[in-house]
Amino acid sequence: MSLHGQYDPQNIFALILRGDAPCYKIYEDDQVLAFLDIFPQSTGHVLVIPKASRARNILEVEPTVLSAMMSAVQYLTRIIVDELQPDGVQIAQFNGAVAGQTVYHIHMHIIPRWEGLHAGEHGRGKAEAEELRALQARLVERIRKA
């Protein structure tokens, strides 16, 4: 898919927002939803998406929506670092297929990184459901205590 195009209301993130597809939700407020990536590049890989925007990428997203997303990314990154103790954190956002975008609903990736452990390839290697549920519970509890 190209960098430019029409928003597809049947994309997986739109389905998740409507409740038509499941996710491992860790955080939600009136503007954003955050959940574990089921094809994680590392343990704790979280996706942050806007709830009301129909933007496909950073070229289309409303500045106020982008601001709310980044505020949530910073908050959740602090939670993830506190809980998982990674050596670093990668924050990523892809625009267009050539850049690695696979879902055309703007989203941010929070990817914890550990020294000596190489991150998996974007969009490959599905995580085990039980591992995701356990991690979800840990992060939700950490957020609840924050």
Distant-in-sequence, close-in-space partners of 22: CB < 8 Å, separation ≥ 6: 16
User: Which of 53, 65, 38, 55 has its CA nearest to residue 125?
Assistant: 38
Report the residue count for the chain: 146
Interatomic CA distance for residues 96 and 85, integer angstroms: 32
Residue 107 among the catalytic residues: yes
Phi and psi, residue 93, nearest 5°? -150, 120
Query: Based on the number of CB atoms within 10 Å of its own CB, is 127 exposed (0-12), middle (13-18) or buried (19 or more)?
Result: middle
Q: Which of 45, 107, 109, 122 is catalytic?
A: 107
The residue behind tokens 């990736």 is 109
Phi and psi, residue 110, nearest 5°? -115, 115
- What positions carry a catalytic annotation? 107
